Structure 1
Amino acid sequence: MNIATRFLALLTLCAGLIGAGAASAGHHSEGEMTRPNIVEVAAGNDDFSTLVAAIQAAGLAEVLAGEGPFTVFAPTNAAFAKLPAGTLDTLLDPANKQQLVDILTYHVVAGKVYASDVVKLTTATTVNGADVSVKTSETGVQINSANVITTDIKAGNGVIHVIDTVILPGA
């Protein structure tokens, strides 16, 4: 089973477990059900055009548009521009799809983790399977070396926190 298939299976399992718990606890509000999903929210913001292109190239748009819930640490176009020259083009090459999937899934946590929850964490396990570090200080929150610049952008299937740097697994 390839990593993309395992990722889809993991997300389906997590979504089912979390969704069942949330539904039984009555956590879905009518407003959440009518909100655009994570992919639609990102696609509606010009600052995420590179992220949306990467999600589509990785074949993850349908997953991230699914039931969720998901928390996405979303790098802006400026964050992608910080990558070394040629890196983004290399990642978007279909021959490197698995590497792109690994990087993008490192930006996603199963469940809804709002800013009020993030500040209580020191680590979070991503759907990639690896942990990110969470550091909170009086100047803000960092996910690994990325600064969280906007929090709690609500979507029908989760929440987005905007970060200023692309985070890389194993870095």
Structure 2
Amino acid sequence: MIKSHMLRRGFLMIGGMAAAGSLAAPGILRAQSVPPTATLADTMAGDSRFSRFLDLITRAGMVEDFRSAQPLTVFAPTDAAFTGAPANLLQQLVGTNSSGGSQESVDRQRLGALINYHIVPGAFRASELMGSDRRLRTRNGADISITGTADSVLVRNPAPAQQIAGFGSAGANVNAQPARVVAPNIVASNGVIHAVDQLMWP
């Protein structure tokens, strides 16, 4: 009797430990698999690194594009990326003069073309962008070329001034170097953001 009682207690203890493990595991799995609820627009709005890019999106009237259910991959320039951008060209697009005052209306067509050149339909993680000179079609109809390694992902315009991008030749050859992904895989409910260190010109 004593032996059987001890065995029964042993099974109960083991069973309790197993039950505790089985109860804990789903909680961990749930924590890891809960999808993000913030859209691309809200994710960028909540990240101070993207305030200038979000300002362009707002001026172009395209905020709702980043709240749509369609999955998108956004190569979003950080605020620091605007430091080397041609100021006069940006002022032309947003309709301001060099002092920041009002000059004329926003050039929404060209500004939209610039923004859409940073967007690829579909949600691509950095691990899916590996390879040499991989080309993806952006939302403005022109291609970007991506070279991805385990250490870095570089994005560039493979043919400046030769692509039909709805932007015009003013943006040709602005970038001497490719843009570098400095913060990959910022996941939103409707896509993925990869922060880049340059504006990419169609």
Instruction: Report the 3-state secondary structure (helix = DSSP H, G, I; strand = E; otherwise coil) of the residue aligned with 1:123.
Output: strand
Name 2:137's counterpart in structure 1.
125
Query: Deviation of residue 137 (structure 1)?
Result: 4.2
Whole-angstrom distance in 1 between the partners of 2:184 and 2:116:
19
Q: Residue 80 of structure 1 contacts residue 88 of structure 1 at CA under 8 Å; is this kept in 2? A: no
1:162 aligns with 2:190: no
Give the secondary structure class of the aligned counterpart of 1:159. Answer: strand
Task: Please say if residues 126 and 153 of structure 2, whose CA atoms lie closer than 8 Å, have aligned partners that are also in contact.
Answer: no
Which residue type is aligned with residue 118 of structure 1? L
Per-residue deviation, residues 90-125 of structure 1 (Å, max 9, x unmatched): 221234111110000000011100111111461111
Taking only the aligned residue pairs, the percentage that are identical comes to 34
The aligned length equals 140
Q: Aligned partners of 1:137, 1:123: CA distance in 2, in Å?
A: 15
How well do the aligned residues superpose, as a CA RMSD in angstroms? 1.8
Counterparts in 2 of 1:82-97, with a 5 A limit? 82-93=84-95, 94-97=105-108
Which ranges of structure 2 fall in alignment gaps of 5 or more residues? 1-31, 96-104, 157-177
The answer as to 2:121 corresponding to 1:110 is yes
CA contact 2:136–2:144 (8 Å) conserved in 1: yes
CA distance in 2: counterparts of 1:164 and 1:158, whole angstroms: 20
Q: Which structure shows the higher helix fraction?
A: 1
Which of these residues, 30, 34, 41, is aligned with residue 31 of structure 1?
34
Is 116-125 or 57-66 further displaced after alignment?
A: 116-125
**2:117 is aligned with what amino acid?**
Y
Give TM-score scaled by structure 2 length. Answer: 0.65
Distance 1:89 1:157 in 2: 30
The corresponding residue for 2:75 is: 73
Relative contact order, CA 8 A, sep 6+: which one is greater? 1
- Report if aligned partners of 2:183, 2:196 keep a CA contact under 8 Å in 1: yes
